[in-house]
Chain A
Amino acid sequence: MSGKKWLFMFALTVFSVLLLCAGFSILVDPFGVFGDPLFDWYSYNETNNPRTAKLAYLEKHHGEYDSYVIGSSSAASLDPNELNAYTGARFYNLFVYGCDTKDYCDFASYILGHYEVKNLILNIGINEANTYDEGEDSYTGRMHARATDRSELFFYLSYALANPRYAVEKLISRAKDTDVPQVFDVFDAPTGTYDKRLRDVEQIGDLKRYEAAHGADFAVSPETAGLPYIEECAASVAMIRDLCREKGVNLTVIASPVYIAQWEAYDEGTLSAYKTALANETDYYDFSLTPISYDSRYFYDATHFRNAVGSMILAEIFGNDEVWRPEPFGTLVTAQNCAGYLDSLFQSPPVPEESDHTASLPVLMYHHFAENPENDMTISPEVFREQIKALADAGYRAVDTADLIAYVRRGIELPEKPVLITMDDGYLSNYEIAWGILEEYGMKATIFPIGSTFGNREFYKDTEYPIKPHFDFDEAREMLASGVIDIQSHTYDMHAWPPFEEDNPGARSDMLPLDGESEEAYAAAVRSDLETYDAIRKREFGEDFRALAYPSGLFTDYTEILVHGAGIEVTFSTEAGKNTLVKGLAQTLYALRRYTVTNDTTPDELLGWLEP
């Protein structure tokens, strides 16, 4: 081959290698800039670079929305579904992580210039004045060229010729993808928010446990440099304000809640300057320092408040008293009241008492009762009477799951010494023995019957295997009507006894996934079981159920996601220990711990468990 031909081949080789790489990156599209032709997987693309991928997503879907939230990741917990319910609009949360106010302006100019926009919510976090106009050099931090005056050709070319590693990683992640968010797909594409389903089933009531698990995420070092971009931040807000006025768009500005360590990382002068600069440009709701700032459980980490707090913010703005908020919570700051507001904020910060928003709750777990117990899990009437009498004498007042929900959701106080008595499986002895004794002492209990064995008196289901008698629907209705007994769920049929079910190889003794069961099949099984039970409860008792005790106390994070996703508000494990309920945090009702009471438990022992 002649040298000239070789040079031609060389040039062609370089060109074709570049073309192959570009083709690969365009098809797999790890940043979503080319419309993700193969996967349409925006929760992944947005995780890689929310700036590019969210705008690319909106290019396809902007017709489905008419209102937007703009902010950094501290805006992630403002839920478009709630906003839609309050306003009747169709919101999309356009927050991006690591956002600075230059990005805010770019986004606002672009969507107001190109899409139909009725409402705009601008969320300003405390760190927004820390950086300005950063990230343009990196694939993961660059703004979509459409929202800037940078060259679109260069933009697309650079993503086509991006590091092929990104596309390879997307393929690998695709193979590992599950229903639950993982580090590579943290977004929920249709709403634009973070998919917090996994994080929001974590047990967070016990502060010590929470701090042990996440303490490092709450460590903040003092920001000695202060907030260098206050001026730019205020100018950005002013620019968006003017733009909204010009386009007739309804603008709401929120200063989001800040964890106390993050707040204290700045000195008073810096914070005052920041708040005042904002107030000089626009009125805004300030939620930055409120009683929740002092409790890490209201935050995912030092810079991100929980979705539950997002609900509280929206309830405050839209006046929904069904959602608990501490007092004070949120102030509409204006140029006029700003100085006075800041004075009072710094002079008397809203430090709460722990008891203002938390309650300790012991839960007792019983099963079967009988005159002559064959084992210590069966309680004799005498023992039960002694135990209940001891509780009543010691001043304990029984509560039910509705009380717990009312406490957490609306802040309705529990009795001073609350106790929740529960009974699993739905034995007839609950009806014949326990009910009467409870009534006698003015106590109440919650029973978790198994749906498929309601009324089984002699035999297990339709087999000929003998069974301890279970109460039937009539008896259940009778107990319910008395107000002493509440009937919730122990699943419809996920607490079976496999030896009695030779014909049913898929029989489940608990709610764990079966060996080798696919995620889809497991989710379908759980959902179907919950729906079946719910249908029965509705048919027989006229209302949905709201609480579930996990059979044998076994569950996974995914079980919790499925169960709470189906609307169940309270779940119970069998782990021994007290629970801490926190107002406003529904997930403190998840997987509540229970003390197993046996026939050998003496009243003193019982009271010992419950002592604060």
Chain B
Amino acid sequence: MSISGAGFLLFLTAAALLYYLVPKAYRRFVLLAAGIIFYLSFSPAAGLCLLFTACFTFGSALLLGRLHRLEKSALDGGDADRKAVKARFRTRRKRLLAALLTVNFATLAVFKYLDPWLAELNDLFGLSFRPLNLLLPLGISFYIFQTSGYLIDCFRGRVEPERNFFKYALFVSYFPQMIQGPINRYQSLAPQLYEGSDFDADKIRLGIELLLWGMLKKVFLADPLADAVKEIYANYTAYSGFSVFLGAALYCIQLYADFSGGVDVVRGASQIFGIEMAENFKRPYFSRTLDEFWRRWHISLGEWMKDYLFYPMALSGAMGKLGKAARKRFGADFGKVAVPALCTLIVFLAVGVWQGPGLANIAYGLYNGLLMSFALLVDRRVRAFKTRLKIKDSSRAYRLFGVARTCFLVVIGRYFSRSASLYDALRMLWRTVRYFGEGLGEGNPFTAFGLDGGAWARVLFACAVLFAVSLLQEKGIRIRETLAKKPWYVQFVPLFIAVALLVVFVYLNTDYTAIAYVYESI
């Protein structure tokens, strides 16, 4: 069931009607049933994988909880050496957690990485491992991270392990998040799911509006660019460096409209059930630094990495020692940023691996990590330089410069994350630099890859609308809330346009083929 199709809307409507029709105590069962139906409509086999993860992490959390309880009773029992008891249990919990996470991530590794890496090994060393040809279960990258976060929280004692499997299964299988996240936190999502929501027309309205907006982004901006981008990345040798760069820039637009559009649909659908999900995007292309970009792009992944990878790593004993050694060896300034820089590099390496198994993805992570570590390392000098030149961070020109620089760096990064291989990404970069103007005189470099004048006009118009809306949001205006206060006819016009566009060009349009979301295959 594609979430762009009329089938999803009917399914959603039916589920929402049923949800609010049954008594509140039973609403969670409606969501659980909907999740199972939704997931099985994609792939029954992948359902087994989801079921395994749900059972495994459910049981694991109970084990972790048991250790907590044992520790508590040991301490309550008046054991003399409280410190020793704590340390003992901490070690036991740590070992258990390590084992549990290994199993959980192994599931992901088997499905997502094993075949590509076997192929890579075969390639490199002339081996002949047979591929398993496993299909990537839908949403596995999201639910493995989500459940791992839950286990870590149970380990830390921040979350009481859920004892009701049906409740926990709903947390794992809540259908709006299945396609492309966001990666939700147990503490914020689970209570909403378990408790059930009261019918709140205002919330439903916000949900519908967000869903419509997400669909518009996907259908009128992301999809029209998909073929052109695919063409350039597949046949970059046929195009000038300029067109290749343009292709990567268009991919940035496509990916944003696609991913953020998809998450809007998902969050909107969730809001219809009165359930708020984590926000995943905050107009990332307005960022002035790459660091800021990553705090505004795919936020739920970034937060996950920060909480479950960056901080544990940065605050670990090993890193503490390393920091001390660095301060000793290179001085206080450098020593202070050495650990964060190293941790940033490792986190982005992980982000790269999360994106996909290829070397290009690892390079993508390294590219971002290195740039940001470098920025950390030279930060003090840059500040001094700016002070000397009397450049103010708050000046309009410097802000614009920052945005342009960030966008440029992001575009270059997309050479890696979309290419077929690292080799192709590097060749594309080389082509951009070496053959930037080649053949620009002949033919139109803007239309060479299949976007004709009409398509450009439509895409630019859609971009302009998205930009205008984003600008308003950037200024702190809450569009939906502001609109709700206007007279009915002011509200009616955009609603009518959105509904008419979607009905005519998507739901009644039998020629419309939903292009899969980019992050659907992650």
A residues engaging B (CB < 8 A)?
1-7, 9-10, 13-14, 17-18, 20-21, 138-139, 161-165
Q: How far is the CA of A424 from the CA of B488 in the complex (A)?
A: 79
Cβ contact within 8 Å between A164 and B508: yes
Residues on the A chain within 8 Å of B428, using CB: none
Least Cβ distance of B198 to chain A in Å? 12
Majority SS of interface residues in chain A? helix
A7 and B204 contacting across the interface, CB-CB below 8 Å: yes
Give CA–CA (A123, B510) in the complex, Å. 33
Please indicate the chain A residues that have their CB under 8 angstroms from the CB of B479 in the complex.
none
| Most chain A CB neighbours (cut-off 10 Å) among B204, B205, B488 | B205
- Distance, CA A9 to CA B205, complexed state (A): 10
Please measure, in the bound complex, the distance between the C-alpha atom of A9 and the C-alpha atom of B489, giving whole angstroms.
10
Minimum CB–CB distance for B511 against chain A, Å:
7
- A-B contact list, 18 entries, CB within 8 Å: A1-B484, A2-B201, A2-B202, A3-B201, A3-B202, A7-B208, A9-B488, A9-B495, A10-B495, A10-B499, A13-B492, A13-B496, A14-B499, A17-B496, A17-B504, A21-B503, A162-B510, A165-B511
A residues in contact with B500, CB < 8 Å: 17, 20
Q: Cβ of B133 < 8 Å from any Cβ of A?
A: no
The residue in chain A whose Cβ has the minimal distance to the Cβ of B491 is A1
Across the interface, do B499 and A17 meet the contact criterion of CB distance under 8 Å? Answer: yes
Q: Which residues of A contact B508 (CB under 8 A)?
A: 21, 161-164
Beyond A3-B202, A163-B510, is A10–B208 a contact (Cβ under 8 Å)?
Answer: yes
Q: Which residue of B lies closest to A6 (CB)?
A: B205
Name the CB-closest residue of B to A164.
Answer: B504
Given the complex of chains A and B, what is the CA–CA distance between A207 and B510 in angstroms?
Answer: 42
Closest CB pairs A-B (n = 4): A3-B201, A3-B202, A4-B201, A6-B205
Distance A4 CA – B205 CA, assembled complex (angstroms): 8
Chain B residue with minimal CB distance to A163? B510
Which residues of chain A are near B204, meaning CB under 8 Å?
3, 7
Which label, helix, strand, loop or mixed, suits the secondary structure of the B interface?
helix
Cβ A6 vs Cβ B484 within 8 A: yes
Choose among A4, A13, A165 the residue that contacts B509 (Cβ–Cβ < 8 A): A165
* B495 contacts across to A, CB distance below 8 A: 9-10, 13
Question: Which residue of A is nearest B201, CB measured?
Answer: A3
How long is the Cα–Cα vector from A164 to B208 in the complex, in angstroms?
A: 24
Tell me if B200 is interfacial: C-beta within 8 Å of chain A: yes
Given A1-B491, A13-B492, A13-B499, A163 contacting B205 (CB threshold 8 A): no
Q: Which residue of A lies closest to B487 (CB)?
A: A1
A9-B492, A10-B205 in contact; A21/B504 too (CB < 8 A)? yes
B399 within 8 A of A: no
How many angstroms from the CA of A161 to the CA of B511 in the assembled complex? 14
Instruction: Say yes or no: B509 contacts A163, CB within 8 Å.
Output: yes
Asked whether any CB of chain A lies closer than 8 Å to the CB of B203, the reply is yes
Count of chain B residues with Cβ under 8 Å from any Cβ of A? Answer: 22
Shortest CB distance B498–A (Å):
9
Q: Closest Cβ of chain B: how far from A586's Cβ, in Å? A: 42
Could you say which of B200, B488, B509 contacts A1, with CB atoms under 8 Å apart?
Answer: B488
Chain B residues with Cβ below 8 Å from A21 are 503-504, 508
Residues of B within 8 A of A3 (CB): 200-205
Contact B499 A7 (CB under 8 A): no
> Chain A nearest CB: distance from B257 CB in Å?
23
For the complex, what is the distance from the CA of A380 to the CA of B411, rounded to whole Å?
A: 84
Q: In the complex, are the beta carbons of B491 and A6 less than 8 A apart?
A: yes
Residues of chain B in range 462-515 having any CB-CB distance to chain A below 8 Å: 484, 487-488, 491-492, 495-496, 499-500, 503-504, 508-511
Most buried by B among A4, A14, A20: A14
Contact A17 B491 (CB under 8 A): no
Collect the chain A residues with CB atoms within 8 Å of residue B503's CB. Answer: 14, 17-18, 21
Assembled-state Cα–Cα distance A20/B504 (Å):
10
| A contact residues around B499 at 8 Å (CB) | 10, 13-14, 17
Question: How far, in whole Å, are A5 and B492 apart by their CA atoms in the complex?
Answer: 12
Q: Is the CB of B511 within 8 A of A163?
A: yes
| Contact mask for chain B residues 273-288; partner A; CB cutoff 8 A; 1 contact, 0 none | 0000000000000000
State how many angstroms separate the Cβ of A16 from the closest Cβ of chain B: 8
B482 to A: closest C-beta gap in Å: 13
CB neighbors of A among B202-216 (8 A) = 202-205, 208
How far apart are the CA atoms of A138 and B508 in the complex, in Å?
Answer: 13
Inter-chain contacts of B491 with A (CB < 8 A):
1, 6, 9
A139 nearest CB neighbor, chain B only:
B510
B179-209: which have CB < 8 Å to A?
Answer: 200-205, 208
Docked CA distance A162–B510 (Å):
8
| Residues of B close to A10: CB separation below 8 A | 205, 208, 495, 499
CB distance from A33 to the nearest CB of B (A): 16
Complex Cα distance, B503 from A165, in Å, reads 12
6 additional contacts (CB under 8 A) given A3-B200, A3-B203, A164-B504: A2-B202, A10-B205, A13-B496, A21-B503, A21-B508, A138-B510
Docked complex Cα distance between A138 and B500 (Å) = 23
Q: How far is the CA of A2 from the CA of B202 in the complex (A)?
A: 7
A1-B511 Cα distance, complex, nearest whole Å: 37
Q: Cα distance A5–B511 when bound, in Å?
A: 34
B201 touches A7 (CB 8 A): yes
| Bound complex: CA A17 to CA B499 (Å) | 7
CA distance A2 to B484 in the complex (A): 8
Q: In whole Å, how far is A8's beta carbon from the nearest beta carbon of chain B?
A: 9
Chain B residue numbers with a CB within 8 Å of A7 are: 201, 204-205, 208
* Closest CB in chain B relative to A567 CB, distance in Å: 45
**What CA separation (Å) do A606 and B508 show in the bound complex?**
68
The smallest C-beta distance from B111 to any residue of chain A, in angstroms, reads 34
Residues of B within 8 A of A165 (CB): 509, 511
Max chain A CB contacts within 10 Å: which of B488, B491, B499, B508? B508
- Taking the closest CB of chain A, its distance from the CB of B227, in whole angstroms, is 19
CA distance A252 to B9 in the complex (A): 52
Q: Which residues of A contact B205 (CB under 8 A)?
A: 3, 6-7, 10
Question: What residues of chain B lie closer than 8 Å to A14, measured between beta carbons?
Answer: 499, 503
CB distance from B483 to the nearest CB of A (A): 10
Q: Roughly how many angstroms separate A5 CA and B205 CA in the complex, as a whole number?
A: 10
* C-alpha spacing A4/B199, complex, angstroms: 10
Contacts of B504 in A (CB 8 A): 17, 21, 164
- A5 and B201 CA atoms in complex are apart in Å by 9
Instruction: Give Cα A5–Cα B200 distance, bound, in whole angstroms.
Output: 12
Tell me the complex Cα distance, A4–B203, Å: 10
**A521→B201 CA distance, assembly (Å):** 64
Complex: how many Å from CA A139 to CA B511? 11
A305 to chain B, nearest CB (A): 33
Q: Which residue of B lies closest to A14 (CB)?
A: B499
From residue A301, how far is it (CB to closest CB) to chain B in Å?
27
CA distance A228 to B491 in the complex (A): 58
Give the complex CA separation of A139 and B509 in angstroms: 12
Question: Which A residues touch B509, using CB under 8 A?
Answer: 163-165
Q: How far is the CB of B201 from chain A (nearest CB, A)?
A: 3
What residue of chain B has the Cβ atom nearest to residue A22's Cβ? B508
Q: Which residue of B lies closest to A168 (CB)?
A: B504
